[in-house]
Amino acid sequence: MAHLLRLGVLASGSGSNLQSILDACAQHRIAAEVAAVICNVPGARALQRAKEAGVPAVLLPHQEHARREEYDARLVAELRSRGVELLCLAGFMRIVTPVLLSAFPQRVLNIHPSLLPAFPGMHGVRQAIRAGVRVSGCTVHFVDEGTDCGPILVQAAVPVLEGDTEESLAARILLQEHRIYPRAIQLVAEGRVALEGQRVRISGPQGDAARTLSSPAVDEP
């Protein structure tokens, strides 16, 4: 059997993106397996999802570490001990430091609920509503030392509809997140992704098509 890329998933909350990754692995839609899920919040649904899927679930509360770097060193030790090759942040509500990034160079992905570089930070969906944009979406990107600003791997567009609230738009964006995160992981697993400065080059068939997913409703009036 071909090598399965060993994933580490970091989550803090509901873990619906984690679930989409677990499902894609279980259904052999991606050549990957979740080697460990690490969560910093006791009782988070993400931990339960990992257990239900039969993958190692580790609770590492950040409060026990005075400095971010110490916490990240602990994360690195845990991830290395489990042979993690690609790290996926999935609703992980912590800023990561160079301690983590240098341990996994060009091997840390994040998902964000906007079309970056628009609306980075904590409230990407709220900002999109307030700005009155007609199209928003979600982005899987490589993590660098800034906030939500590393090289962009895959995006999906989601129309903003009349009457949308932060909640209704966030829910529709989340559905697209669940499509693009497994797809982004699969591109890495296939060895098709190369970083050229701030740009990501995707080689092989349909390289351009692979980077953008439009929700079917995006062109509707």
Of 212, 207, 214, nearest to 191 (Cα)? 207
Question: In angstroms, rounded to a whole number, what is the distance separating the alpha carbons of residues 125 and 205?
Answer: 33
Choosing from 28, 65, 112, 141, which is the catalytic residue?
A: 112
Indicate the residue among 131 and 171 with the shorter CB distance to ligand GRF.
171
CB of 164 to ligand GRF, least distance (A): 15
Residue nearest to ligand GRF (CB): 91
Q: What dihedral do alpha carbons 207, 199, 75, 93 form, nearest 10°?
A: -100
CB of 195 to ligand GRF, least distance (A): 21
Which residues, including other chains, have CB under 8 Å from residue 51's CB and lie 6 or more apart? Answer: 57
What the block records as the tokens of 105 is 């160079």
Is 28 among the residues known to form the active site?
A: no
Label each residue of 90-123 as H, E or C.
CCCCCCCCHHHHHHCCCCEEEEECCCCCCCCCCC
Using CB under 6 A, list all residues that contact ligand GRF: 11, 13-17, 90-91, 111-113, 174, 177
Indicate the residue among 13 and 56 with the shorter CB distance to ligand GRF.
13
Indicate the residue among 72 and 177 with the shorter CB distance to ligand GRF.
177
> Which stretches of the chain are assigned E, i.e. beta strand?
5-11, 32-39, 57-59, 86-89, 108-112, 135-142, 152-159, 193-196, 199-202, 212-214
Could you list the active site residues? 112
